[in-house]
Amino acid sequence: MEAAPDQDQHQPQHKPSEHTEHDFDVKTLLSWSAPGRPFTKKGRQFYLSVILLLGLFEVILFLFSQYELMLVLVALTFLSLVLSSVPPHNFHYKITTEGIKVEDYFYIWSELYDFYFKFIDRTDVLIVRTQAFLPGELKISLGDIPREHVRKILVRYLPYREYVHPTFMEKSAEWLSHNFPLEKT
C-alpha cells in the first residue's frame, strides 16, 4: 500500500524559531528586595545591659574555673552585639511556579512544608517551614509587600497556618524579654 501524498499536509508543522508556552515553564509570580533579617537600631542602654550581664556571668564562670566557657560566652556576646549594630544588606527574593529563591539558593515546593506570617522587630516576616531538619525555617522579610498578596500566591502551593503554637524556647524567650528587657521601649 502506498501512503497518500497529501497525508503529510495534515500534520502540524512547527518551525524551530516559534516559541510555544508550556505549563512546565518556570514563571516568576513575585519578586522583591528586602533586608536579610529584621533589624532595629539599638540604644546605648541595650549595649550597656549586655556588657553588664556578660561581666556578671564571667565572674560566676571564673569562680568555677570555667575558662573555656568564658571564651565561648565572650564570642557569642560579640556576635550578638555585631548583629544588633550592623544593618543587614538587601536580599533578592523570588517566588516562582517551581519554588522560592533566596539570593542564589532555590527551594522547590516539595522541600517546603507550610508557611505563616509573624511580626518580628516591627517587620512583617514570612516564615516557611521546610521538610528537612536544616534549615528548618526560611525567615523572609516582606519589606513593602503586603501579607495578603504573598498569601494568595503561596496558598496555591503550600498549606497556610493562621496560628502556629509557639515552642517552649519561643515562650521562654518572650517571657525573658518581657520581664527582663535589655532596653526600654
Sequence-ordered alpha helix ranges (H) in the chain: 44-63, 67-85, 147-154, 168-179
What is the number of structural domains in the chain?
1
Query: Has residue 84 been placed in a domain?
Result: yes
Query: Has residue 56 been placed in a domain?
Result: yes
Query: Has residue 143 been placed in a domain?
Result: yes
Query: Has residue 153 been placed in a domain?
Result: yes
Query: Has residue 112 been placed in a domain?
Result: yes
Of the candidates 80, 128, 85, the residue with the CA atom closest to the CA atom of residue 105: 128
Of the candidates 88, 93, 89, the residue with the CA atom closest to the CA atom of residue 145: 93
Residue 94 is part of a domain; what is its CATH number?
2.30.29
* C-alpha–C-alpha distance, residues 156 and 178, integer Å: 37
pLDDT along the chain (185 residues), means of 10: 51 50 81 94 94 97 97 97 94 97 96 96 94 94 96 97 94 93 82
